[in-house]
Amino acid sequence: MKRWIQAMGTGMQGSRDLSYEEAVEAAHEMARGDSTDAQCAAFLMALCMKGEADEELMAFIDVFRSYSLNFHTFADSLNCAGPTEGRQYFPITLPVSLLLASVGFSQVLHGGDSLPPRQGTAMKELLESFGVAIDLSVKAWETMLFHLHIGFLHTDQLCPPLGKLKQVREQLGLRTVMNTVEKVINPVRSLNMIIGVNQRKAMESLIPISIRSGFQNVYIVNGIEGSEDLPIYQNRTIRIVTPWGDESRVVEPQKFGFMSEPLQPLSKDDQVTMVRRIIAGEDSEELKRERDHVIFNTGLRLMWFDKVGSYEEGFQLAESLLQRKEAHKVMQRWVDQSHHFTLQDHPKIRDSSAKIG
């Protein structure tokens, strides 16, 4: 690892990008555990300071994918990994994904524990609060995705080498190439991806690798706290990447009649409570801001991925699904079936599945 750190330098004369083959070798050293934590940290810092080249990014993506669990292909699914720092605001993607799953559009959620520089609530924590069992065999997970059209994979289980780097990433406390790797690891080879970025300039580095990573329809979103969730209280930019090129677009919620005050930070318990109430069909004025965000983002994704004929149709369908408690039904089946498969995989475990009320 030392030679690759020296090759990159730290902005001094003679520093350079690594070739794809060199970066592959460095990534393998890191993934196999052949490098110390200090060496891994120094490499990631040097790469971050220099700026990751496309070939370096692709090398790390390809290598860490090769160390991941092998799942069957679900090409028509939507791949979605939330912000690696977790959520401090209402987790819009969770109810949105449940609604999309309820109409047969498979949703593949994945992510790790929340990391610095900001530590919010990770998707894993939210799902466990609902009673979803995360620790499943590959076969059980695939069966659930096939029948429920939704599933979550914890990064540490999906790609053990990424899990082993958690401590290094926590100590660094900054975004590195591993944040991108974690988001585009694509466990079931989805053709569709939605990915959030913190800054518009971060979109540029994702554009050339999106299609090379095997995706066909990619929406890069400058969303709330770097997530894939768009606000309805201000305009935001998205980039759409396909094999035929990329397009920049400004999403203007007001054009569709959506507007609100900014969302407020919420504790994990408050996030869970609010999701419960919204997916249970509650439409009180107290929840209007968050509920409208769910309807808006669901409608967008239904339209973006060709599930409806217009944005208005998407918003109407989202509202109807919420009123019929379709997201609640999906969540309840998710809880029940995940515990059913956990009991099959681990017969000694007693039934402790929780109803979501």
Q: Where are the alpha helices (DSSP H) in 286-325?
A: 288-304, 311-323
Q: What is the pLDDT of residue 353?
A: 39
**Residue keyed to tokens 């993607």:** 93
Q: What is the mean pLDDT of each run of 10 residues along the chain (357 residues)?
A: 80 75 95 94 90 93 96 96 91 98 98 84 95 94 96 94 92 90 94 91 87 93 94 96 94 97 96 98 96 98 97 98 98 95 58 41
The CA distances from residue 62 to 55, 58, 78, 260, in Å, are: 10, 6, 20, 42
Q: What is the pLDDT of residue 352?
A: 36
- Do 148 and 333 contact (CB within 8 A), yes or no? yes
Return d(Cα 264, Cα 177) in angstroms, integer.
30
Side-by-side strand order, sheet with 236-242: 150-154, 107-111, 78-81, 192-196, 217-221, 236-242, 245-251
Give me the phi and psi of 301, to 5 degrees please: -70, -35
**Would you tell me the crossing angle of helices 268-279 and 288-304 to the nearest 10 degrees?**
70
- Do 90 and 121 contact (CB within 8 A), yes or no? no
> Residue 307 carries which side chain, given as an amino acid letter?
K
- Do 119 and 83 contact (CB within 8 A), yes or no? no
Q: What is the pLDDT of residue 345?
A: 65
- Do 3 and 34 contact (CB within 8 A), yes or no? no
- Do 199 and 222 contact (CB within 8 A), yes or no? yes
Q: What is the pLDDT of residue 341?
A: 87
Return d(Cα 92, Cα 290) in angstroms, integer.
8
Q: What is the pLDDT of residue 346?
A: 57
Tokens of 30: 């890191």
Q: What is the pLDDT of residue 49?
A: 86
Return d(Cα 197, Cα 210) in angstroms, integer.
13
